Structure 1
């Protein structure tokens, strides 16, 4: 059974400090198991889903590069490498070759696809040639733009705020008092998460969503529609919603949404209470658990990245 937000965690892994007692540099660290068991985790997932969907609505080009598992890793890694080059005089610039070297052990991608992704990020205003080259300009180095930095700062601060919601910490306040900290945290976080076997192998229930350039955003939309985690006959019901409405919201073709939804329906992960996809949409408890577990892995890596610099 998936627990509602009003219930205590089933399996407390560690004894957390009293709410509000944790300083940003406390010796207490949040693990993925403790995060997943935290009674406030449901609220944080609603909060982070709202934040990411707001980014999608305001800057859909940024959201597109963070929606699939592979694009997420490419975007996060390219930003980390580019910001390191900006802040460390001896750090090399971001080039396709250096990005491929960083990604190859952790994600299956070839140089052609990687160059295509970088080109799209440049077209969308997230990357640009540096004003001055550190090395050989023929390697086509790129760096972050103001749009990318503002978007990543919002991503970092949103996740730090959610960690604060779990343990009463003050990470967000510390990050706003030291504007370089979120980007330093992000560089550590992405190194940690790229090497995390659980993150790099999404569960089968998530895989067909996270293989799509829009699937990650759709997952967050489903989570935001949850009002609680109570089960009825093995289902967790959302509000009524149509495929056409989802397609319109995210500027995706109806056929693409149908393909993603159909695979999930066939696997028993979601469905509608009435024939022909009418009535309330429902999610299986296992599907929700898998999504929350994956998010707990991400939040642990953010926590570890933060603790490396704070």
Structure 2
């Protein structure tokens, strides 16, 4: 039987009573997806996360690509969790294509060939590498995380913890910076939680064509970052002036790929421009924004639950 990512033994799951929670200044009650989605500060939190992720994309676009689509996101997060478990838990098995496939198969449609391709790309991009000391069967092709991957994942974890702090005034980020193992322990637990969440695996129809693209996830964050506020004008929420070519340049892909992605959203009434030929200000529908916010709330709830389990 192949083990899935788990919380390391050094951090037993604790309850959230005032005495135990006071160490990291956590409120007694944890945040849920419903309270997160309706929190008046969640818009600011989403923009903060979007800015962080877009900064990562600008600095290391190849790394960001592995977190942009729904499937690649889950592969990357699970890979990291399994590899870090092997690093931090004595006796835990190394990350191999077979173990990763076994952990993912119940939750994502992917075959071994595609999975091996993803792992090969992550290795080529400096996110995974063969372990320095491995005495097992070399045919299993084990890999482990690199300093570059660990730096990026730590930033991802700390960025999301900071945004949870924005919502309730907690001190999760401070706790993670005091304890260098906490962020990675939280990430492994987060993977356990979110990979069995039915709502996460069934994104709204408005999101589906974005989340199926290796650029679509970052595109959604870019749209979020461009929002000035959530005021509606004739059933639309306006952003700024931006062209298809601007998006193509930002994400280093062809104009035709951006057009295909945008066209589906336009046909669904989720997105458009105020002038013909995609000119003028870009606008989004309120329903589209609410769907994206709800999906982000599901993710933040998983981070919150994971943090409480290990802090």
Q: TM-score range by the shorter chain?
A: over 0.9
Which residue of structure 2 aligns with residue 216 of structure 1?
217
Q: Is the 8 A contact 2:126 2:148 kept in 1?
A: yes
* Structure 2 equivalent of residue 94 of structure 1: 95
* In 2: Cα distance, 1:26 partner to 1:149 partner: 29
Partner of 2:280: 279
Aligned counterpart, 1:193: 194
Count of residue pairs brought into register by the alignment: 291
Map 1:120-131; keep pairs closer than 5 Å: 120-131=121-132
Structure 2's unaligned 5+ residue stretches are 1-21
> 1:294 corresponds to which residue?
295
In structure 1, distance between residues paired with 2:25 and 2:104: 31
Q: List aligned pairs for 1:92-171, cutoff 5 A.
A: 92-133=93-134, 135-171=136-172
Deviations 1:86-113 (A, max 9, x none): 0011110000000000000100000000
> 1:175: Cα distance to partner?
0.2
**Conserved in 2, the CA contact under 8 Å of 1:93 and 1:134?**
no
Give the Cα–Cα distance (whole angstroms) in 2 for the partners of residues 62 and 35 of structure 1.
28
Measured against aligned partners, the alpha-carbon deviations of 1:23-76 in whole angstroms (never above 9, x if no partner) come to 544431000000011110000011000000000001111100000000000000
CA distance in structure 2 between the partners assigned to 1:248 and 1:22 by the alignment: 46
- d(CA) in 1 for partners of 2:33, 2:115: 30
Equivalent residue, structure 1, for 2:238: 237
The 4+ residue runs of structure 1 with deviation greater than 4 A are none
| Contact map agreement 1:22 1:168 (CA 8 A) in 2 | no
TM-score by length of 1: 0.92
Contact 1:82 1:144 in 2 (8 A): yes
Query: Equivalents in 1 of 2:163, 2:248: separation in Å?
Result: 28
Residue 133 of structure 1: how far off its partner (Å): 1.3
Give the superposition deviation at 1:252.
1.0
Contact 1:82 1:93 in 2 (8 A): yes
Q: Distance in 1 between matches of 2:286 and 2:207?
A: 13
Contact 1:22 1:169 survives alignment (8 Å) = no
Mark the runs of 5 or more structure 1 residues left unpaired by the alignment: 1-20
Tell me the residue number matched to 1:15.
none
